[in-house]
Amino acid sequence: MARPRLSTEAADGVRAEICAAAAALYERDGYDAVTLRAIAAAMGRSQALPYRYFKNKEHIFAALRAVWFERLTALLEAAVEGLESPLLKLHAIARTAIAFAQSQPSEYRLMFSLSQPDPTDFPELHAARLRAMATVQTAYQEAVDARLIPGDGATGAHVTWAALHGLLSLHLAGQLTVGRSLEELIQPMLDTLFGPRLLAVVEASARSERRRKQAAD
């Protein structure tokens, strides 16, 4: 007897359960411990279940990476909402990306793993990556258009992303051991990326926010 087909919503729910089980195994035991059989066992389901929804382990991890990139993008978009200054937007984006990596180091490492397949082979993941990058590129292009920094949005977004990732990777790998911590390096890096006006803009915004809160009190 043929197995009844699930609705699209129900099938998406099962895929989400499989991804959640894979994420929990990855967090607890590492990447190599995650197999489709281990996922099924963790779910208390038949060994055949994951194979009905995902071709293999890499497709599951591609789906996980897409979910985490979407979460990061949502955080970046929320961080810039209501900000008018392009420099403040870039500062907020950088700080939000750093906070994301610090609060979810395992997820961050997997998102940017050197051993993963080409993301363009997975359309959902590739689209999620592009949306995250677009948030950075838009803010950078606004700063270029306002003549606050030179260059162009696409190049600036890539350089910004590369610089942030380099610093975060060193921090998460415990390799910042020659006299400067992550927190000590963040602002100098941002000043280098976005120009000497950044710190003045950030400080002015902080003063304005303090005055607003004092007036509200």
Say which CATH number the domain at 154 has: 1.10.357.10
SS3 category, 131: helix
Cα-Cα end-to-end distance for the chain: 69
Instruction: Write a three-state SS string for 50-73.
Output: HHHHCCCHHHHHHHHHHHHHHHHH
Q: Which domain holds residue 25?
A: 1-54
Give tens-digit pLDDT for 183-207. Answer: 999 989 998 888 877 767 767 766 7
Q: Say whether both 34 and 82 belong to one domain.
A: no
Q: Name 145's Cβ contacts closer than 8 Å, sequence gap at least 6.
A: 86
CB atoms within 10 A of CB 128: 24
pLDDT of 4 strictly over 60: no
In this structure, of 102-106, 133-137, 153-157, 206-210, the range with the lowest mean pLDDT score is 206-210
| CATH code of 22's domain | 1.10.10
Q: Do residues 80 and 6 share a domain? A: no
CB atoms within 10 A of CB 217: 5
Kindly state whether residues 131 and 204 are assigned to the same domain.
Answer: yes
Using a cut of 0.85, tell me whether the model's pTM lies above it: no
